[in-house]
Amino acid sequence: MQLTDLTAGRLLDGYRKGEFSPVEVTEQALERARRIQPEVNAFVRLTEEDALAGARESEARWRRGEPAGLVDGVPVTVKDLLLLRGHPTLRGSRTVPERGSWDEDAPPVARLRAHGAVFLGKTTTPEYGWKGVTDSPLTGITRNPSDPTRTAGGSSGGSAAAVALGAGPLSLGTDGGGSIRIPAAFCGIFGLKPTYGRVPLYPASAFGTLSHTGPMTRDAADAALLLDVIGTPDPRDWSALPPAPGSFTEALREGVRGLRVAYSPTLGGQVAVRPAVAAAVRRAVAALADLGAYVEEADPDFSDPVDAFHTLWFTGAARLTQSFSPRRRRLLDPGLREICAQGARASALDYLAAVDVRVNLGRRMGRFHERYDLLVTPTVPLTAFEAGREVPRGSAHRRWTGWTPFTYPFNLTQQPAASVPVGVDGEGLPVGMQIVAARHRDDLVLRAAHALYEAGLPLSGTVAPAGD
C-alpha cells in the first residue's frame, strides 16, 4: 500500500487502528516530495527535520491513545505566502530578505500546529501571489502533474501539484482571484475558497478583502476536516468571523437532495468554454440532478466586473511595493512591476468606483441565492496550457484575468466557491467544475462536492509520478 495515496481521513483511521504510524507516513511523503521536485517544482523548501520530529511526537501520542487534535500526524504543506514558524516566508520574491527570526505562525498554521499536523514544507507561489499561474523570479516555473510542459495554474500551484502527486494530503492555499480554484482545476484536486473571514489571515493581504485562505485536498471530506481545524477566529485578524455554527464534516452527510442548483455554463454567453470542459461539467451537473438536486439552467445577473477587479488588484500591488527603491523594484517579476505602475496611476475616486461595482455585485448575488442554493459553472473555460506563460499562446488577453472569468467575481462578493475535478479532456488534462454558495454557506458547497465524490464521478485527485 502506498501511504502517499491515502486521504487524511484514511490516514487518521490507520493511525487509530495501528495499521501504520505518522513516522512511516511522513517518511514516505517526504520521499515523494523529493522525487517530484525536479520535474514539477512544487516546493520552495522542505522542512524535513521538523517534519520527522513532529511525526515522532505524534506517533508517541497515538501510542498513548491521546492524539492532540483532529489532524494529528497528518502531513501538511503551506503556501509560501503564509507564515510558518522557524522558516522564511519569501513570497516568491527576491525582494524579501531570508534573514530574520520568523518566529510566528499564520492563524491557520497555528491551528494546524495545535491539532498535531506535521509540516512537510513551503510550496511555490508567483511573486506575492499576483497571477493565475505559478512562476517567479525566485523559484522558477511550477509544472502540471499530468503534463510537465503545462502550467499547474496559480497562484497556489505548488500546493496543488504537491497534493495531486501525494506529497501530503492537505495543503493551505490562498485565493485572491481564483488562486485556489484555478490550480485545483488544472491539477485535478479539490480546492475551496471559504467565505471571507471564515479562515483568519495575518498578516493582512496587500490585496485586502479579496484574498481568502483555504483548503487544497484530495477530496471534499478532507477539506471539511481541514476547515473544521482552521475555520476559527484569531485575535490578529479583526475581520475574522465567529466560530462556525457546526462541524463542516458533520454537514457532509446531508447530501444534495432538495437543493436548488443553478447551472450557468457560460455566464449568459459571456464566456467561450472549450467543448471538452463544457461536456465534463454538463455530466457532473446531470449527476447532481440524479442525486436529488433540483437543477435548472440559469445565469446570475451581472456583467464581467474585470475592470473593477483590476482597479482593486492593481492598486493593492502598487501599495505593496510603494516603498521599494528603484533597485529593489528591478528585482520584481516584469508583469508585477507593470501592474504596480498601472495601480499607482489610479485615483481614490477610481478605487471607490470599483468598490461600488463590488457592492452592487454582492447585492445581485445575494438576491440570486434567494432563489438558488448553489450556482455551478466551469472553474475555468480551458485546461492547463503551456508552462511559463501568463496567458495561453495566441490569447487576445494580456493578463491572467482574461482566461479566469468564472473565478474572480466571487472574490469580489466574498462567497464560498470550490473547484471539484469532474473529468479530463482529450489530452488527459483535468477539468474542474466550480460550485458557489451564498456567503456563510460553505457547508452547502462541501455537501454538493462530497456527494459527487461519493457517487464516484470526479478524478481520484492523485496522479502517480513517473516511475511508479
Mark whether 347 is an active-site residue: no
- Give me the catalytic one of 171, 179, 205, 211: 179
144/74 Cα distance (integer angstroms): 24
Is 336 within the bounds of a domain? no
Mean pLDDT by 10 residues, the chain (468 residues): 95 98 98 98 98 98 98 98 98 95 96 98 98 98 98 98 98 98 98 98 95 98 98 97 96 98 98 97 97 98 97 98 97 98 98 98 98 98 98 96 98 98 96 98 98 80 47
| Backbone CA torsion sign across 329, 309, 262, 283 | negative
Q: Structural domain of residue 170, as residue ranges?
A: 3-304+347-455
3-state DSSP assignment of residue 78: strand
Q: Do the domain assignments include residue 401?
A: yes
What is the spatial distance between Cα 319 and Cα 322, in angstroms, rounded to a whole number?
5
The full DSSP string for 156-220 is SHHHHHHHHTTS-SEEEEEESSSTTHHHHHHHT-EEEEPPTTSS--SSPPTTGGG-EEEEEESSH
Decide the pairing of beta strands 118-123 and 75-79.
Answer: parallel
Domain for residue 332, yes or no?
no
User: How far apart are alpha carbons 251 and 449 in whole angstroms?
Assistant: 12
Residue 328 lies in a domain: no
How many structural domains compose the chain?
1
> Given 58, 136, 146, 155, which residue is catalytic?
155
pLDDT at 458: 63
Please indicate, yes or no, if residue 423 is contained in any of the structural domains. yes
C-alpha distances (whole Å) from 60 to each of 18, 64, 155, 373, 414 are: 12, 6, 37, 45, 41
- Per-residue confidence (pLDDT) for residue 142, from 0 to 100: 98
**Cβ neighbours, 10 Å, residue 137:** 16
Q: What is the DSSP string of 436-456?
A: EE-TT-HHHHHHHHHHHHHHT
- Asked, for residue 320, whether it belongs to a domain, the answer is no
- Report how many helices (DSSP H) and strands (DSSP E) the chain contains, helices first: 15, 13
Q: Which residues pair with 174 in a beta bridge?
A: 213
Contact 73, 60 (CB under 8 A): no
In angstroms, the CA 365 to CA 218 distance is: 29
3-state helix, strand, coil in the chain (%, to 5): 40, 15, 45
CATH number, domain with residue 175: 3.90.1300.10
Q: Residue 393: its pLDDT value, please?
A: 96
Determine, yes or no, domain membership for 188.
yes
Element (H, E) at 419: strand 417-424
134 burial via Cβ count (<10 Å: 0-12, 13-18, 19+)? buried
Active site residue 179: yes
Neighbouring residues of 194: CB distance < 8 A, sequence distance ≥ 6: 212, 213, 214, 215, 227, 231, 416, 442
CA distance 466 to 28: 16
Give the Cα separation of 325 and 340 in Å (integer).
13
Residue 17 is among the residues annotated as catalytic for this protein: no
Q: β-strands 417-424, 430-437: how paired?
A: antiparallel
Tell me how far apart the 2 most distant CA atoms of the chain are, in Å. Answer: 62
Q: Pick from 192, 179, 193: which is nearest to 142 by CA?
A: 179
Nearest to 261 by CA among 281, 246, 280, 238: 281
Are the C-beta atoms of 122 and 86 separated by less than 8 Å?
A: no
What are the grid coordinates assigned to 423, written together? 473529468
Kind and range of the H or E run holding 59: helix 48-64
The residue written with cell numbers 466560530 in the block is: 243
Residue 30 C-alpha from the chain's centroid: 21
Residue of 58, 79, 131, 264 with catalytic role: 79
CA 219/CA 222 separation, integer angstroms: 6
> 333 lies in a domain?
no
